[in-house]
């Protein structure tokens, strides 16, 4: 699971700079809402700001990017894609703010990966990589290599994924935040899990959860998701009781924070059902899986055609 649903680049901008006028203050306010996982609350205000016509191209690009993130996290895929396209078009020729363009491309790539469009996502992340290579931004390079590694693994290219995660590790510096390190541990955990190194994946997920909780505590949807990933790894390692208990904890947190109708919760419920099935609780598992699958179809049938939501997109 990745904590890239916030524009960490923009968070680095001091409030006084953003506070030069009321619009900037509002953008900063909605940025903080997204950082807290309150995506649905941010959408109306961001839509109003993006449509206001009072922003510079750069500010408008940032507003559309933020709106795209919020729409993606609430399952509004078509709206998210439209917002990201507008952001990219606005920022494409802005040579002074290439990091903003990279952010828009990055989050758009996440959206495409989340609905199974891995080749499109890979092309976008390759563009992001070229921007950060020119800027020699090691922190951003680490994250982009990790994204590309996960994208390759999604296509079952495990050797390429290992090579790219090695490049991500080579870009780590002392300036990385705990959130950055949690993201990297998530990616390592997923690669280890999918390439048969389950005990190693447990250590990766445990470290990611520890790092994330330091800054965000228990009551955050990404905390809940990390409990689900960790519990799934416990179960895969032959510890079903521990795994089921940990996954229940994750679902409870997601219910409180993202809601039981969110894509993240429903996907987590399907993961949980698979573990229950594996360890003999087949009737309960079948019912949970059927209900969650039906809710996903009902909620998102109009968002994308013939696409499936990838678990890896929630890193």
What DSSP assignment string belongs to the chain? ----SS-HHHHTS-HHHHTTSHHHHHHHHHHHHHHTT-HHHHHHHHHHHHTSS-S-HHHHHHHHHHHHHHHHHTT-HHHHHHHHHHHHHHHTT-TT-HHHHHHHHHHHHHHHHHTT-HHHHHHHHHHHHHHHHHHT-HHHHHHHHHHHHHHHHHTT-HHHHHHHHHHHHHT--TT--HHHHHHHHHHHHHHHHHTT-HHHHHHHHHHHHHHHHHHH-SSSHHHHHHHHHHHHHHHHTT-HHHHHHHHHHHHHHHHHHT-TTSHHHHHHHHHHHHHHHHTT-HHHHHHHHHHHHHHHHHHHTTT-SS----GGGG-
User: What is the model's pLDDT at position 21?
Assistant: 52
Q: Where are the chain's structural domains?
A: 1-135, 218-315
User: What is the model's pLDDT at position 64?
Assistant: 92
Same fold: 1-135 with 218-315 = yes
User: What is the model's pLDDT at position 300?
Assistant: 65
Query: pLDDT tens digits for the chain (315 residues)?
Result: 443 334 434 433 333 333 345 656 667 677 777 676 678 888 888 888 888 877 888 889 989 998 998 898 888 889 999 999 999 999 998 888 899 999 999 999 999 998 889 999 999 999 999 999 999 999 999 999 999 999 999 999 999 999 999 999 999 988 889 999 999 999 999 999 999 999 999 999 999 999 999 999 999 999 999 999 999 999 999 999 999 999 999 999 999 998 998 888 999 999 999 999 999 999 999 999 999 999 888 876 655 544 555 555 555
Does this model's pTM top 0.85?
no
User: What is the model's pLDDT at position 23?
Assistant: 57
User: What is the model's pLDDT at position 7?
Assistant: 42
User: What is the model's pLDDT at position 311?
Assistant: 52
What is the assigned CATH class of domain 218-315? mainly alpha
When the candidates are 1.20.1250.20, 1.25.40.10, 3.30.565.10, 1.10.10.10, the CATH number that belongs to 1-135 is 1.25.40.10
User: What is the model's pLDDT at position 224?
Assistant: 97
């Amino acid at each position: 699971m990745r904590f890239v649903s916030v524009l960490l680049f923009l968070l680095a901008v001091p409030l006084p700079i953003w506070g030069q006028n009321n619009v900037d203050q509002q953008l900063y306010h909605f940025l903080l809402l997204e950082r807290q996982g309150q995506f649905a609350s941010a959408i109306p205000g961001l839509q109003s700001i993006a449509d206001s016509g009072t922003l510079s191209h750069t500010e408008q690009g940032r507003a559309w990017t933020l709106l795209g993130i919020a729409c993606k996290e609430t399952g509004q895929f078509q709206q998210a894609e439209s917002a990201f396209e507008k952001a990219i078009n606005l920022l494409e020729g802005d040579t002074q703010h290439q990091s903003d363009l990279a952010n828009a491309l990055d989050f758009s790539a996440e959206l495409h990966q989340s609905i199974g469009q891995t080749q499109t996502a890979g092309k976008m992340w390759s563009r992001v990589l070229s921007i950060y290579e020119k800027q020699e931004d090691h922190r951003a390079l680490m994250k982009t290599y990790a994204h590309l590694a996960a994208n390759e693994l999604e296509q079952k290219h495990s050797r390429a994924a290992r090579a790219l995660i090695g490049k991500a590790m080579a870009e780590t510096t002392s300036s990385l935040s705990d959130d950055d390190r949690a993201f990297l541990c998530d990616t390592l955990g997923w690669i280890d899990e999918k390439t048969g190194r389950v005990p190693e994946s447990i250590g990766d997920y445990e470290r990611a959860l520890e790092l994330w909780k330091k800054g965000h505590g228990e009551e955050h949807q990404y905390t809940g998701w990390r409990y689900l990933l960790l519990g799934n790894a416990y179960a895969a390692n032959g510890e079903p009781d521990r795994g089921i208990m940990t996954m229940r904890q994750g679902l409870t947190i997601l219910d409180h924070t993202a809601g039981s109708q969110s894509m993240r919760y429903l996907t987590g419920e399907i993961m949980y059902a698979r573990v229950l099935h594996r360890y003999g609780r087949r009737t309960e598992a079948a019912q949970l899986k059927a209900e969650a699958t039906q809710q996903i179809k009902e909620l998102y049938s109009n968002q994308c055609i013939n696409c499936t939501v990838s678990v890896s997109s929630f890193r």
